[in-house]
Structure 1
Amino acid sequence: MENYFASQRDNIFRNVEVLIYIFDVESREIDKDMHYYQSCLEAILQNSPEAKIFCLVHKMDLVQEDQRDLIFREREEDLKRLSKPLECTCFRTSIWDETLYRELEQSLNQFANIIDADEVLLFERATFLVISHCQRRPHRDVHRFEKVSNIIKQFKLSCSKLAAQFQSMEVRNSNFAAFIDMFTSNTYVMVIMSDPAILPNRNSVNNLVNKVRMTGM
């Protein structure tokens, strides 16, 4: 990228009306980030001095809520100072929609109540990271989501090596029953029950999933 910026500098920054620069609030290379930013500002100053500058401090949802205002103000002060003689306007941003998350959590709670599940987890299909979950019974393993995600990803990898495609999984013993199946085109749902008798077979869960889908949850 540095070579491209150097060789195409005049073409990239000529006649620019707006520069929007995004900073990752969790970046561990702040000095490097600031260096790139100042390089862009120098090019803007030479080629498009009237351009408007906007800086987005991104992933603010990952910062502890009581620290967000302080951290944002500190970053804003640094960026305004480094931007002189140009002026920049700063905004805090996030890809995480908390209202959507709350709505999703409520839907999972309703789903768990319908099927009398101890816990329901919703995974993103490609990465198998937890999007949301509902817990109706305490669990002592706080790292279980990460463990389940890694187990399923390894199992999917094994399936792909055999030219097979992962679709669902059922685990059952005398203490619990767990079932994983596709929920939507982009998600998987995992249902956990402490009474295995409540989960007699895959079709029963599929029917319940379809019922929830039809209700618009």
Structure 2
Amino acid sequence: MNSGKRQKQRKVLLMGKSGAGKSSMRSIVFSNYVAKDVRRLGATIDVEHSNIKFMGNLMLNLWDCGGQDGFMENYLTHQREHVFSNVAVLIFVFDVESREFQSDLVDYSYIVQALGECSPQAKIFCLIHKMDLVTARLRLPLFEERIEFIRGSSEGFKDSVDFFATSIWDQSLYKAWTQIIYYLIPNASTIESLLQQLAEVIDARELILYERTTCLMVTHVTRGLEGQNPFTDRFERISSILKTHKQSMARHTGIPAGSANFAEMQIKTSRFMFFITRLTENTNLAASIPPSEQVFNAARVNILLARHRFAELDISNKPRAGLSHAYQRTSDDKELADIAAGYVGGKA
């Protein structure tokens, strides 16, 4: 958010056997690829390093590790300390249709042992990938069976491993990576608390915070009856829609997909109103509010006034003042603050 502050680096290992789909998912999430384009990606040779700026001051030091047997052996012997030291997160990808699942489990157990020696505080996420290749009625039983085997090979991490069934062809990939990113952001709870305050001020049914470049959800606040929304994958669906929209803008404008963005999108119906707008340099905010022009206009103004408060947040997790400080008047926004004075809480 505030780029002038010191960046915090988090080392993330992306591992799994060759062909499991590691580089494909990395390219979709961080490099604005679409699923049909990943076929042209070649096999990863040794380790591909990527420094990915996320939420302004969080730098993901992503190590995409080639999964060929020779590379695996090298990681576990000659490069053991180099690869497995100072790791925040290990993401291990299993190909659900692998014909050598027992061999994959053996490699995984060796990697977990090395991680336990060099980075015992690391978090492990296991992605059971390419689930779209499995018949729908068999997916859940197979997923649960795989979890049981993998957990049994997780050594000292067996009680803390998180599992996700994923595919590059649906929203499941975004759901998994959203949870991974949420774990990596040290001040996510602080952002969530501030978002809760903002939701109460503007009478929002739901607020969803998205990182602008990747379109991954950072966190959300759901209030009232919105908690009964039957579309439990709505956050990931919006991620997918935003990503597709960015790619469409890139094709028609010539702007790189990573830089393509929009100012605001609005939807107004008789049952609800919804808009997505820029919150900070690095985030977009989606808001679902009651069907009232008064509440809608008040929400947009108050979000504008709260922007600098969110922009102040960084990964240092220092204690901050409450949301009320977001409404301090400066020479630049005094006129707008005067206009908004009667709108706080959506009341004229």
TM-score interval, smaller chain:
0.3 to 0.5
TM-score computed with the length of structure 1 as normaliser? 0.44
More RCO (CA 8 Å, sep 6+): 2
Structure label with greater radius of gyration: 1
